[in-house]
Structure 1
């Protein structure tokens, strides 16, 4: 249960709220969060029609703060402490403000996790500001690092960092408007300060003087995404009671049913947990679509694209035939943050990433989620899981295409990947070390044995590299693009559900036109 200090005091409960809680089975914090979350869609729609740049900044900041304050109360003011500290660092110490923002924002988030025991509180349905603080931490680090990058020549930066760097210090209004952004702290997704500024000012890819960049009517795609979120919410409410974390911790699961039944229950419990995040992200995406921030230009046929900040693709997660590609489809935007602000920053420009780079990124992702063993067990397991996926991929490159695409083999891979994902994700759901180990022990550690066996076979019997007739100029172009044999060198780093509606993954090769 969340503590009852300054973090949790806010608006006293009203009679209609208590009645709604008793009728719906939701806790007060869940009810308020849901109301604020749905209201953020309307706020996004209004933001698109505010006529002036300053007006859009003010509306976004004020509405965003109120939407956060309603469910989280005085805990919202904790956003001001690391935010003000980061802004002072940006004003006074430009060439090191990115590092200083890390040293301010990340420890403050860890303190919030410790004070609230956030993971355990979220399992009980008690939401606090810590979830929003997680999103805020991503933004504080990103905006400070981007401003620090603005003092560097573009040639010293990776292509993405050169595009997203900030040449000028944001004003206090611009800075806090970006941080609160019309209630987007409720569930994300993460987006860059550079993009947000261009959107508010209708510049760059939102330049209203260019008909191709003018924001079209978002009504139908916004409603479609909102309905998608509502369907996921209904599934979550129907499945979470009979198939929640308590089931995995029960004697029934661990002792009274056979192995095939346990594996099935692992899958359906994982699906129920993921529906919560599908709901949260779909509604958040709906808000961004209605605001126009999610507008991503037009395709070759002239059809508007609304996929700039798509955070998950349900079919590609649930029916995934490649473990590494899972990362490109689950919490994509936070994954991009991990990629560009952790993974690539740990890798020298002229070097290839190593497993140590992957492990450190996973560790940071785990700490970002909270200080529970289940988080860390998942991220440690997922690092091995994706190494196994890469080993399978290397073997497949030596097979004829008709074998790789053979329908029964593809179905087998989808089933295997679902088994491994839900096996690993069970630790993220139950959190406590003893419960995690008891669940894995009840299925004989089959997930770990499977992925470790694949890696061991790949080391003992490495696959032969396929022979390819690659022209020198094409090989040089691939090397310059950071690819090996046509495949991007950087491995994927996923992360599964968080106690609040946000969780990170490190997406593979996801640029805006691929989202």
Structure 2
């Protein structure tokens, strides 16, 4: 293939085209996994070798060296110091990722249509940290563990080939989803929910086709909208001349447009994990059981665009990373017998910001998201304490609030620089920062007299 002419024809750079070809190649790689001979060992070797090959073809030889640094750090800590291997891996693997973020400044490359291996390194970092923490949890007593810890803990050390296969399987390190090593081992060995049963073997083809159709639609819409809503507009002199509502609507459309790119990427990764069989998550309880494929799901498009509350967003956007943050950061910051508060939320969002990169835009966005969720919780508490008519009004307010603050906040995530972020925020009088802060303050002053405890727990 003439890479340069093909890249020019579809409007991307050669590195991006190379990445996209390898990324789509994860789908046939996932499909052939089921046919690999040699039992679990053969499948682990296939997962490791195909993952490394896709990485080499996409990013070059140096990318694989970057990936193996946190992988070997994590495995070495599990071998040498199991009692603290989770903490050691978290600090060193996250530290190495931050160093790569600083060195490569990948956010600038992504803004300009380029790409490097840092995004894949981000996924591998989460995988190796979760593996080490789960091995650490294997030393703890049942009464000291949450249900998720009991489910995912490792009693014995995975072999090196099992571990590398887990990290690189099906090219899932390109863009996720993140999954647990316990699930990977069960899938490879045909145990747990993947064991043969009277319900038969679930067919992945319908769910795979659905994911591919979604990917095609998302990419088509993104290619149509992106030339109309460039990020450069925020520093354009004509933008400054617009009125308040026009600026606010442009922020909404810029965020709306950018999200379709992520929907496309996650739909492709979902297809590759589903067709491999790893995406299977059990059967429905209907009279005629239907296979569920939620383990591969990383986004619920309609759930994001029509979220009734900001609290719902982590459940529908980058779902597997949000689950990882809950299990390995948020829950572990809550002391036994106590409830989580704003500190745990802010700390979790800060870890997420650092994981994405050290750009001011990321930091501001994730602090903003913590404020956004806290403000939405205040609305929800009032909503639960009023009569049905007023409750519907509060539900509408929470929806509109989420729509406004999300698209205001995500400008920082897109433009990255401090100047551009503050320019865009300031152009609409920081409305998406002021409103959440006001709601948080009012929520602590005007407390509902009778809020449903169950609703509070859900929030």
Which of 70, 89, 92 is 1:104 aligned to?
A: 92
2:282 aligned counterpart, secondary structure: coil
Which of 172, 188, 195 is 2:176 aligned to?
A: 188
* 1:288/1:294 contact within 8 Å kept: yes
> Are 1:151 and 2:136 an aligned pair?
no
2:228 aligned counterpart, secondary structure: coil
Q: Alpha-carbon deviation of 1:284? A: 0.6
2:450 aligned counterpart, secondary structure: coil
Q: Alpha-carbon deviation of 1:55? A: 1.7
Counterpart for residue 316 of structure 2: 329
Counterpart for residue 32 of structure 1: 18
> Are 1:399 and 2:416 an aligned pair?
no
Which of 259, 269, 276 is 1:291 aligned to?
A: 276
Q: Alpha-carbon deviation of 1:442? A: 0.6
In structure 2, list runs of 5 or more residues that go unmatched.
Answer: none
Q: Alpha-carbon deviation of 1:405? A: 3.4
Q: Alpha-carbon deviation of 1:401? A: 2.9
**Partner Cα separation in structure 2 for residue 268 and residue 360 of structure 1:** 29
Which of 198, 208, 231 is 1:222 aligned to?
A: 208
> Are 1:269 and 2:257 an aligned pair?
no
Higher relative contact order (CA 8 A, sep 6+): 1
Counterpart for residue 119 of structure 2: 131
* 1:320/1:414 contact within 8 Å kept: yes
**Partner Cα separation in structure 2 for residue 410 and residue 153 of structure 1:** 42
Counterpart for residue 371 of structure 1: 358
Counterpart for residue 471 of structure 1: none
Which of 441, 454, 457 is 1:485 aligned to?
A: 454
1:264 aligned counterpart, secondary structure: helix
Counterpart for residue 339 of structure 1: 326
Q: How does 1:112-131 map to 2 (within 5 A)?
A: 112-131=100-119
* 1:146/1:165 contact within 8 Å kept: yes
> Are 1:256 and 2:244 an aligned pair?
no
In structure 1, list runs of 5 or more residues that go unmatched.
Answer: 1-14, 469-483, 492-515
Counterpart for residue 450 of structure 1: 435
**Partner Cα separation in structure 1 for residue 441 and residue 141 of structure 2:** 44
> Are 1:233 and 2:219 an aligned pair?
yes
Counterpart for residue 16 of structure 1: 2
**Partner Cα separation in structure 1 for residue 457 and residue 273 of structure 2:** 29
Q: Alpha-carbon deviation of 1:362? A: 1.3
**Partner Cα separation in structure 1 for residue 73 and residue 441 of structure 2:** 48
Which of 189, 195, 204 is 1:201 aligned to?
A: 189
> Are 1:309 and 2:278 an aligned pair?
no
**Partner Cα separation in structure 2 for residue 289 and residue 279 of structure 1:** 15
Counterpart for residue 160 of structure 2: 172
Q: Alpha-carbon deviation of 1:403? A: 3.5
CA 411–465 in structure 1, closer or farther in 2 if over 3 Å, else same? closer
Counterpart for residue 374 of structure 2: 387
**Partner Cα separation in structure 2 for residue 244 and residue 412 of structure 1:** 29
**Partner Cα separation in structure 2 for residue 487 and residue 461 of structure 1:** 16
Q: Alpha-carbon deviation of 1:211? A: 2.7
2:155 aligned counterpart, secondary structure: coil
Q: Alpha-carbon deviation of 1:338? A: 0.5
**Partner Cα separation in structure 1 for residue 158 and residue 354 of structure 2:** 29
Counterpart for residue 65 of structure 1: 52
CA 350–411 in structure 1, closer or farther in 2 if over 3 Å, else same? closer
CA displacement 1:406-438 (0-9 Å, x = unmatched): 6xx655543332111000000111111111111
**Partner Cα separation in structure 1 for residue 230 and residue 282 of structure 2:** 41
**Partner Cα separation in structure 1 for residue 143 and residue 447 of structure 2:** 38
> Where is the helix percentage greater, Structure 1 or Structure 2?
2
TM-score normalised by the chain length of structure 2: 0.96
CA displacement 1:187-222 (0-9 Å, x = unmatched): 0010000111001001011112x233x431111210
2:317 aligned counterpart, secondary structure: coil
**Partner Cα separation in structure 2 for residue 102 and residue 300 of structure 1:** 38
Number of equivalenced pairs? 455
**Partner Cα separation in structure 2 for residue 157 and residue 79 of structure 1:** 30
TM-score normalised by the chain length of structure 1: 0.86
CA 446–107 in structure 1, closer or farther in 2 if over 3 Å, else same? same
> Are 1:140 and 2:128 an aligned pair?
yes
Q: Alpha-carbon deviation of 1:400? A: 2.2
> Are 1:86 and 2:90 an aligned pair?
no
* 1:369/1:375 contact within 8 Å kept: yes
1:186 aligned counterpart, secondary structure: coil
Counterpart for residue 246 of structure 1: 232
**Partner Cα separation in structure 2 for residue 342 and residue 375 of structure 1:** 18
- The CA RMSD over aligned residues, in Å, is 1.6
* 1:395/1:464 contact within 8 Å kept: no
Which of 349, 357, 360 is 1:362 aligned to?
A: 349
**Partner Cα separation in structure 2 for residue 459 and residue 343 of structure 1:** 22
- With 242-251 and 339-348 compared, the bigger mean Cα shift is at 242-251
